[in-house]
Amino acid sequence: MRNLVAIMGLLGIGSVGASGFVTAAEPEAGQLGEMPSLSVVLADLGGTLHDLGQNDEGRVRAFVFLSTECPISNGSIRTLNALGETLKESTVGVDLFGVVFDPYVTRAEIARHFRQFEAAIPILVDASGLLFEALRPTHVPEAFVLNRDGRLIYRGAIDNAWEALGRRRIQAEEAYLAEAIEAASVGRAVSIPETEPVGCLIELPPADEASSRVTYTRDIAPILQARCLNCHREGQAAPFALGTYEQAARRARQIVRVTQDRIMPPWIPGSGPERFVGDRRLTDRELDLLVAWAEGGRTRGDEADLPPAPSFAEGWLLGQPDLIVRMPEPFTVPADGPDLFQNFVIPLDLDEDRLVAAIEFHPGNPRVAHHAVLFLDESGTARALDRASPGPGYPNFGGPGFFPSGALGGWSVGNTPRMLPNGMGRYLKRGSDLVVQMHYHPTGKQETDQSEIGLFFVPKPAREALKEPAKLVGSIWLADYEIDLPAGVNHVERSASYTLPRDVILVGVVPHMHLLGKAMTVTATLPGGQEKTLIDIERWNYNWQDEYYYERPFPLPAGTRLEVRAAFDNSAENPSNPSRPPRRVTWGDGTNDEMLFCFFLIAAERTEDVIHVILDNLGHDARQPRLALEPRP
């Protein structure tokens, strides 16, 4: 990186004679030290999607706003190319992007321009100003550096090649951007955190003109490609495709309704202090654009603005799995009727214990596969249930029908497989069976499914990996076994709590209720009394429950009180209520029963602490009161 800083000053060559744009109102600058909200997915000129809101790998990110007209911006491309090449050769984990926000230039013109200037770094087209709103640049070129925690630690010039407009040095003497990247890479404070950018002012269109310029090609297609096409494309589980103007325009009002109500994209947690991996929530800016387009005539726009169709990877996204297993035989889903929950037993035949860093689930038939949960059974109980049931697998709603010895996570429509952070893994004991609970929904015609799963191991046997700190990820849970929901009552609150006996690292949280679930909030009250929200779900939806990994796992000290508070709706007004008229509902595994669980994925600096907490939690759970019910007839 020192060589990087040295060479950057040598390459800051630009054209002379720039004249800036005229702007009526200069945007408010992004503040140093803040964590800008980058909940946005942008495509580069090649069509590759970059999820800027996701940074579970803790990478340093640098953005340089550029243009197709400003000579100083054009002259900086050689400097950025050299910096990008140096970063490729390093192992510091840095992403460097060029960004173009210009409402007056088409995507095709942008692509042609940067081909001519031979830009070698990814160029993001911020057509609707989503990244502009977060960082608030005033000039092009202007650079921004975010550290591994997502905090803005530098903004300003790339280097000091330009003293002012019309005053260019023979050679740059300071490499501000390179030095800021180096500092962020090693966790050091930036020596010069802010400089005055020299270049062309960014021009903003008048407000009335901006609102009238919302088009499918410039504004809406990028949103749909980034947020919707992973499911809403031909051959996927969604009921219709949204890959063309015609497909989107005919459903514009429906798109607005389901996005405004936060039904789509499917993501039930609210925003909170800790960001989850795979967060699919639309930003307020994206929601506003969808409304403006739907209500403003659904303008198609200039085809030159249309981004290239994104490519979706085929095969194994995480690379070749260490072990690939498959449902033993195809399962037939009937043409109609209620949703099905079917459990399939897959022997793993491992000759040693392993830690599982990730699973990648491939639905055999994405038209009917809704979600899957992967349990472990070392007792043989699942095999007995399978033998006693005709056909492939055995049915059971809620749980797998036995007490699992572990779990490997799950899959739902639209999920992206990811490794657990920092070499962590879930314990997989030799001799365990994998029990895959599938949720199927009929499509109107008979279908078959035979799904497969790739397992990725921590690259060493479990007995060796467990000697290292914070490697084993285990599960603890809170549960209320006294649920008793009177018929017709639309709001019943229940809760459960548990106090941690040792320090842990919280990796993720998995809430679970059935069809009468209404809302859930999970909190951690620290020993000093401070309350921290772990997940908040204002509107529970059984169809979209998931595992939620924290982008940055964080410590919780011994003495922390975990609490889950939930509400249930057993009224006739609840469309998910399976009973008409409503009936009394109590705890149970059945379709018409109810549950309140919250699982916590934990690690610790010492493996023995994880094991101690798991055993303590098991004892706590065993002491919880159960509702006394008369045996069912």
> Residue 57 has what pLDDT?
81
- Residue-wise pLDDT for 389-436, tens only, equals 999 999 986 678 888 888 898 887 656 788 887 788 999 999 999 999
Give the integer Cα–Cα distance in Å for 147 and 451. Answer: 40
Q: In what order do the strands lie in the sheet with 492-499?
A: 492-499, 561-568, 517-525, 531-537
Q: Does domain 313-468 have CATH number 2.60.120.310?
A: yes
> Residue 207 has what pLDDT?
61
Token output for 197 = 């950018």
Asked if residues 62 and 95 have their Cβ atoms less than 8 Å apart, the reply is yes
- What is the mean predicted confidence (pLDDT) over 609-623? 92
**Smallest Cα–Cα separation from 570: which of 626, 516, 507, 522?**
516
**Which phi and psi (to 5°) does residue 543 adopt?**
-70, -15
- What is the mean predicted confidence (pLDDT) over 37-41? 85
Token output for 410 = 């799950």
> Residue 20 has what pLDDT?
26
Is the backbone peptide bond immediately before 141 cis, with ω within 30 degrees of 0? yes
Give the integer Cα–Cα distance in Å for 602 and 474. Answer: 5
In the chain, where the domains are located: 2-204, 208-305, 313-468, 470-633
Task: List the helix and strand counts (H, then E) for the chain.
Answer: 14, 32
Q: Could you write out the three-class secondary structure of 503-564?
A: CEEEEEEEEEECCCEEEEEEEEECCCCCEEEEEEECCCCHHHCCCEEEEEEEEECCCCEEEE
Give the integer Cα–Cα distance in Å for 462 and 425. Answer: 9
Pick the range with the lowest mean pLDDT from 196-210, 238-252, 271-285, 431-445.
Answer: 196-210
- Residue-wise pLDDT for 553-581, tens only, equals 999 999 999 999 999 999 999 988 989 89
> Residue 25 has what pLDDT?
41
Give the integer Cα–Cα distance in Å for 231 and 249. Answer: 18
Report how far Cα 545 is from the mean position of its chain's Cα atoms. 14
Report how far Cα 162 is from the mean position of its chain's Cα atoms. 40
Asked if residues 358 and 420 have their Cβ atoms less than 8 Å apart, the reply is yes
- Residue-wise pLDDT for 320-369, tens only, equals 999 999 999 999 999 988 878 899 999 998 989 999 999 999 999 988 88
> Residue 9 has what pLDDT?
32
Q: In what order do the strands lie in the sheet with 433-440?
A: 394-395, 340-347, 433-440, 369-377, 406-412
User: Is it true that 2-204 and 470-633 share their CATH fold?
Assistant: no
Give the integer Cα–Cα distance in Å for 10 and 13. Answer: 8
**Which phi and psi (to 5°) does residue 309 adopt?**
-60, 130
User: Is the model more confident about 205 or about 226?
Assistant: 226
Give the integer Cα–Cα distance in Å for 124 and 100. Answer: 6
Q: Does domain 2-204 have CATH number 3.40.30.10?
A: yes
Provide CATH code, domain 470-633: 2.60.120.230
Q: How many CB atoms lie within 10 A of CB 46?
A: 12
